[in-house]
Amino acid sequence: MTKYWKLRLLNPKLWNRKNLWLSAVAMLVVWSPELSQACSVCSAGREDENRLAFILTTAFLTFLPLSMIGGFVWYLRRRYLQLELELELELELELELEAAAERSAPVMAAGAAR
């Protein structure tokens, strides 16, 4: 505990009725989870619907990030394959155009010689 907080806790001006009352209520809430109904991990005394909802929500929140990552990887793979196919088709078209140009070059040269 720092010196500041020690001096603050020992200051009699801060210990008025309001602060004492708030401190007592805070301690009561912290020390008695049955009164505040703040037990976040146990399911004793709860209905089956609440227990099932808790389990389903836990499962949903567990699998949601995994499915999002899986969907992103699937999208990247699909996009990569699509771009690869487009590049392959583009190269095939260039090769066909070059081959067609080579085949028509002698015909053009013969026509120009006439």
Domain boundaries, the chain: 1-37
Judge contact between 13 and 20, C-beta under 8 A.
no
At residue 39, the 3 state secondary structure works out as coil
What is the per-residue pLDDT for 21?
A: 76
What is this structure's pTM?
0.45
Q: Which residues of the chain have pLDDT under 70?
A: 1-18, 29, 31-47, 105-114
Q: DSSP string spanning 2-14?
A: -HHHHHHHH-GGG
Return d(Cα 114, Cα 109) in angstroms, integer: 9
What is the per-residue pLDDT for 41?
A: 63
User: How far apart are the two ends of the chain, measured CA to CA in Å?
Assistant: 105
What is the per-residue pLDDT for 6?
A: 62
